Amino acid sequence: MVKLPEPRSGESPYLRVKDLRVRFDTEDGVVRAVDGVSFSVERGRTLGIVGESGSGKSVTSLAILGLHNAKRAAISGEISVGGRQLVGMPEEEVRRLRGRDMAMIFQDPLSALHPYYTVGRQIAEAYRVHHPRAGKREARGRAVDMLGRVGIPQPGKRFDQYPHEFSGGMRQRAMIAMALVNDPDLLIADEPTTALDVTVQAQILDLLEDLQGEFRSAIILITHDLGVVSQVADDVLVMYGGRAVEHGSVEQVLRRPQHPYTWGLLSSVPSLHGDADADLVPIKGNPPSLINLPSGCAFHPRCRYADRNGDRSRTEVPELRPAGEAGHLVACHLPADERTRLYQQDIAQVGVAQ
């Protein structure tokens, strides 16, 4: 059984995901979008889930909120939110938690907001659905208040504007206001800054951090951008092919990475520092197809070190095991000392890995 990183404070984690599996039956075959992933997040902390397209990171977040179509997705494992088991819970009960105890911010705020309703009305609606006794005026007051708190100037006036009258950054702020209007304990942000310009991204990341200090929510930040993770996450989960390959504190995963895939990500990202003329070291090949996942370690066809333990990488799925330091887990067949040596030798000099 996988041992999770111990919570750092005495508090038990608000979100606990254990052996989560999400499967879709499609015409082309069974897609194992998430294949046995476990993690937990406490209030006031941020978990960054990193992965490329098809890694299962977004499917995981939608599974937590119960937003998958029950007819098409088969979900197993445990998702415990504030002590309540969500897998198998009746839809009506999950619905009551959605938006109140757990909320979500999406990648593209323009398409995530309804084009025909004013921004304020959409936020007020999110409040009223969980406060059925609140009147129109109370909901409006609350929405205006939230707009102001996410840094939107003249919130009273902005309340009555439509999404297309907002700039990209303001729209994402409005989305955040909507997600936080019921003071949720868990906030999932799925690529919240990918569609934004870099200077606006910095504003939004700062805002998320300030708001976390204020609301003390547990945050899951899903992104492909290691830079974003390094700025705001406390813990990092690296996913590949629907499985977790590395898990630990941000310090451990980005400074002392243990999995060859994490190495590959770090050495292939161009950086503002270091030798600009040096070649990047990309990961060879392409991300795998979830319908036809490589046997054994899903990363083995792209791994430079897959041949070092005979056939093991091709035949046996590596389990997530302690990587040395407390709380640092890695799913790799390479022995610990060899990993450390290879990292020092091959990787530490390139890209942002230094």
Partner 1 sequence: MTEPLLKVRGLTKHFPVRDGFRARGAVRAVDGLDFDVRPGETLGLVGESGCGKTTTGRMLVRLLDATSGSIEFDGRDITHARRAQLRPLRQDLQIIFQDPYASLNPRHTVGRIVAMPLQVNGINPPGGIKKRVQELLELVGLNPEHYNRYPHEFSGGQRQRIGIARALALRPKLIVADEPVSALDVSIQAQVINLLRDLQRDLDLAFVFIAHDLAVVRHFCHRVAVMYLGKIVEIGDRDDIYQRPQHPYTRALLSAIPDVTTLGPAGRIRLAGDVPTPLNPPSGCRFRTRCWKAQDRCATEEPPLITRDGGGQLTACHFPETGTISQDSGPVGATAEEVSK
Partner 2 sequence: MFRFVVRRLLVAGVTLVVISLVTFGLFFAVPSSPAKVMCGKNCTAADIAQVEQRLGIDQPLPRQYAGFVKGIFVGRTYGSGDFRQDCPAPCLGYSFRNNQPVTEIIAQRLPVTFSIVFGGAVLWLVLGISLGMVSALRRGTVFDRTAIGITLAGASMQVYFFGLILLYLLVYATGLLPFPSYTPLTENPGRWAVGLLLPWMTLGFLNSALYARLSRAQMLETLSEDFVRTARAKGLSARQVHTRHALRAAITPIVTIAGLDIGTSLGGTFITETIFGLQGLGKATVEAVQFLNLPVVMATVLLAAVFIVVANIVVDVLYAVIDPRVRLS
Q: How many CA atoms lie within 13 A of 198 on its CB side?
A: 2
Q: Is 108 in the site for partner 2 (CB under 8 A)?
A: yes
Among residues 106, 240, 261, 343, the one that binds partner 2 under rule CB under 8 A = 106
Q: What is the distance between the alpha carbons of residues 106 and 210, in angstroms, rounded to a whole number? A: 19
What is the β-pairing status of strands 321-322 and 329-330? antiparallel
What is the β-pairing status of strands 243-249 and 186-190? unpaired
Instruction: Cite the DSSP H helix spans in the chain.
Output: 57-64, 91-97, 109-112, 119-130, 136-149, 155-158, 168-180, 198-215, 226-232, 250-255, 260-268, 312-315, 336-342
Tell which residue, 41, 296, 340, has the closest CA to residue 184: 41
Binding region for partner 1 (CB under 8 A) out of 93-101, 125-133, 161-169, 324-332: 161-169
With CB under 5 to 8 Å by kind, the binding choice for 205 among partner 2, partner 1, none is partner 1
80, β-bridge pairs: 16, 85
Q: Is 31 in the site for partner 2 (CB under 8 A)?
A: no
Q: Is 162 in the site for partner 2 (CB under 8 A)?
A: yes
Where in 262-281 is the site for partner 1 (CB under 8 A)? 264-274, 276, 279-281
With CB under 5 to 8 Å by kind, the binding choice for 230 among partner 2, partner 1, none is partner 1
Judged by beta carbon, residue 282 or residue 335, the one nearer partner 1 is 282
Among residues 36, 56, 99, 248, the one that binds partner 2 under rule CB under 8 A = 99
Residue 140 near residue 120 (C-beta atoms within 8 A): yes
Among residues 183, 284, 335, 338, the one that binds partner 1 under rule CB under 8 A = 284
Q: Using CB under 8 A as the criterion, which residues of the chain lie in contact with partner 2 when the complex forms?
A: 65, 67, 71, 95-100, 103-104, 106, 108, 111-116, 125-126, 129-130, 162, 164, 175, 178
Q: Using CB under 8 A as the criterion, which residues of the chain lie in contact with partner 1 when the complex forms?
A: 52-53, 167-170, 197-203, 205-206, 209, 224-232, 250-251, 254-255, 264-274, 276, 279-284, 286-287, 302, 351-352, 354
